[in-house]
Amino acid sequence: MSPHHTAAAAGAGDAPDGADAPILPAGQMPRHIAIVMDGNGRWAAGRGRPRSAGHRAGQKAVRAAIEFCLRQGVPALTLFAFSSENWRRPEGEVRALMELFLRALDREVRNLHKNGIRVRFIGDLDAFQAPLRERMERAQALTAGNQALTLNVAVSYGGRWDIVQACRALARQARDRDLDPERIDEALFDRHTTLSDLPPPDLFIRTGGDQRISNFLLWQLAYAELWFTPVLWPDVDAAVLTRACLEFAARERRFGLTSEQVRP
């Protein structure tokens, strides 16, 4: 690992001994991890603090997850930061989250870039005000050529939105006579969804104790392994992510086949 893969990405000080050691052979690690970062509000409530304090604390866990993927060679990480439904939260909480995203972008993008991380935002970016949208676009442009890790941040995102926007794009092509509807198959549809240039998530993690997908990557999660933990997002660290990956590697993924067919 190059020196700048350590503290710079995480801003978290020196790596503890052994943190760089692979936890699994490369072929057994997920190639793409998707995370619903739940539990910030409860983490804050447990400390008698406002929900926004939980979201701020959640940033440390975001850094830990990025650093974990870099160290362990996971090439893609997708984080659910703000759902299309989150707009309906109390106005003050939405405002605090927007400010937090804005500040996080200003503060972190240079570090992410230095560490070879490609940052992308998926979701209905038009829903954001210009200053935030422009910063997201700038971060994407700056880091577009990086290859150490692709970090997708889902904002104003919904799995149904993703499917509908793919339908709309295909319908437009059909209307303009550029596409015969009979040619629409899973592969073509997939190419119009977000993240189509990446392997689909192998491992879906949800923290905070609830066991549901909550309109995250509905199309892309078709064959993901689902892993749930009661740990609240701000308390997530490399040890929790290690547990998730070890359990992932111990599962038999059959993709509709039989055990005999998939066993080496």
Positions marked active-site:
38, 86
Residue closer to ligand FPP by CB (options 62, 76) is 62
Contact between 123 and ligand FPP per CB under 6 A: no
- Only one of the segments 22-30, 53-61, 128-136, 253-261 lies at the binding site for ligand FPP (rule: CB under 6 A); that segment is 53-61
Question: Which stretch, 5-13, 50-58, 65-73, 157-165, contacts ligand FPP (CB under 6 A)?
Answer: 50-58
Tell me the Cα Rg of the chain: 19
Tell me whether residue 104 or residue 167 sits nearer to ligand FPP (CB atom): 104
- Tell me: does residue 60 bind ligand FPP (CB under 6 A): no
* Interface with ligand FPP (CB under 6 A), residue from 30, 58, 75, 200: 58
Q: Is 62 in the site for ligand FPP (CB under 6 A)?
A: yes
Determine what percent of the chain falls in helix, strand and coil, rounding each to the nearest 5. Answer: 50, 15, 40
Subset of residues 138 to 157 that bind ligand FPP, contact rule: CB under 6 A: 153
Strands (E), the chain: 32-36, 76-83, 117-122, 149-157, 203-206, 225-228
Give residues with Cβ within 8 angstroms of 223, minimum separation 6: 200, 253, 255
Q: Which member of 208, 217, 220, 240 binds ligand FPP (CB under 6 A)? A: 208
> Using CB under 6 A, which of the segments 34-42, 64-72, 141-149, 240-248 binds ligand FPP?
34-42
**Least Å distance between CB 65 and ligand FPP?**
10
Closest contact distance (angstroms) between CB of 97 and ligand FPP is: 6
Closer residue to ligand FPP (CB): 52 or 170? 52
Nearest residue to ligand FPP on Cβ basis: 41
Distance (Å) of CA 175 to CA 27, 138, 181: 44, 33, 10
Q: In terms of Cα–Cα distance, which of 171, 187, 168 is closest to 179?
A: 171
- 10 near ligand FPP (CB under 6 A): no
First to last CA, the chain: 31
Tell me how far the alpha carbon of residue 155 is from its chain's centroid.
10
Q: Taking contact as CB under 6 A, which single stretch among the options 54-62, 195-203, 223-231, 245-253 is the one that binds ligand FPP?
A: 54-62
Q: Give CB contacts under 8 A, 24+ apart, made by 192-196.
A: 192/165, 192/166, 193/162, 193/163, 193/166, 193/219, 193/220, 194/122, 194/123, 194/152, 194/157, 194/162, 194/220, 195/78, 195/122, 195/152, 195/220
- Residues 66-95 touching ligand FPP, rule: CB under 6 A, are 79, 81, 86
Output the smallest distance, CB 208 to ligand FPP, in A: 5
Q: How far apart are CB 223 and ligand FPP at their closest, in Å?
A: 25
Q: Which residue has the tokens 């290690």?
A: 242
Distances (CA, A) of 238 to 71, 115, 251: 10, 18, 20
Three-class secondary structure of residue 210 per DSSP: coil
Using CB under 6 A as the criterion, which residues of the chain lie in contact with ligand FPP when the complex forms?
37-42, 51, 55, 58-59, 62, 79, 81, 86, 100-101, 104, 153, 208, 233
